[in-house]
Amino acid sequence: MGFLGRLARPYHKNNIAIADPPIVLDVSPGADYETYIITSIACALGGLFALFASAIKAVRRRRVVPT
């Protein structure tokens, strides 16, 4: 018997009904695309930040510091 079965046993003994968890679906036409667009924008901004940070580090590393 699994974990959920052990939790449900006392309820079944006392004749308390346990409902199935609800399933919520977003049926709007752009529901799938909104998630992908937000994710792609966030990843693009993170990639640009990493690109500029690495470019700045490369330029700073090339500079010769007089000793």
The pTM of this model reads: 0.50
Q: Which amino acid is at 52?
A: F
Delimit the domains of the chain by residue range: 25-67
Q: How confident is the model at residue 57 (pLDDT cuts 50, 70, 90)?
A: very high
Quick check: 18 and 8 in contact, CB under 8 A?
yes
Kindly give, in sequence order, each residue whose CB lies less than 8 Å from that of residue 18, ignoring residues fewer than 6 positions away. Answer: 8, 11, 12
**Could you report the per-residue pLDDT of 18-46, keeping only the tens digit for each?**
777 778 887 888 778 888 899 999 999 99
